[in-house]
A and B are shown apart, each in its own frame.
Chain A
């Protein structure tokens, strides 16, 4: 298994509160990704990073921000959580190159009440 951990694994929060999810890798891969997975929508990219302090938006980035201060850590922040952000969040990593396999973490299940 690729060395990817996500924390927390489960979280319940209230609307309007900030939430930060953490992805940690031990593979020293350059690229890191945050996805959300919802029934009927599949996996959708939120943000990705192509190096320390280098990030870009994905398909569904509104309401989310990210930071990457170290190669091994990629943080996803919901500044003010909404019920529409209830989802399962997956982190993925890949090595450099355009034909790069992405390896996924175990996921974080977030419920916003």
Chain B
């Protein structure tokens, strides 16, 4: 069974305190790993897609990296506006649908 796990479940950071979120997956034949940000009361917002081990993508204070079995979302010098739930997802083995992780709830305190 395809599985996606994320850790930690919740993370509280002080403004400027860098950290990383983890996404691990068990689907074979990875066809992309997708990161989303979700604010309370809103739909997930697409951030990045990574396709191969060693690939990195950056957007403002966020950098996503990919290995063969996991991805990291590094947050450098976060600001309170980075507070959100971060979701990762991978296409299932049939390539038709996504399997989502449960998310990491990030709080950045001023």
Contacts and interface: CB of A to CB of B under 8 A. Distances in A.
B101 A99 contact: no
B95 A107 contact: no
Interface string A53-92: 0001010000000000000000000000000000000101
Contact of A48 (B34, B45, B97, B101): B97
Interface residues of B, number: 23
Contacts of B51: 99
A102 B42 CA distance: 15
Contacts of B16: none
A106 B95 CA distance: 25
Interface residues of A, number: 23
Contacts of A105: 43
Label chain A's interface by main secondary structure: strand
Contact of A98 (B31, B41, B103): B31
A102 B34 CA distance: 9
Q: In the complex, which of the residues A40, A43, A104, A106 has the most CB atoms of chain B within 10 Å of its own CB atom?
A: A43
Given A90-B43, A107-B42, A102 B87 contact: no
Given A98-B91, A99-B49, A102-B98, A42 B103 contact: yes
Contacts of A56: 96
B97 A33 contact: yes
A87 to B, nearest CB: 14
A106 B42 CA distance: 5
Contacts of B31: 98-99
Contacts of A102: 34, 46, 89, 98
Interface of A: 4, 33, 40-45, 48, 50, 56, 58, 90, 92, 98-99, 101-107
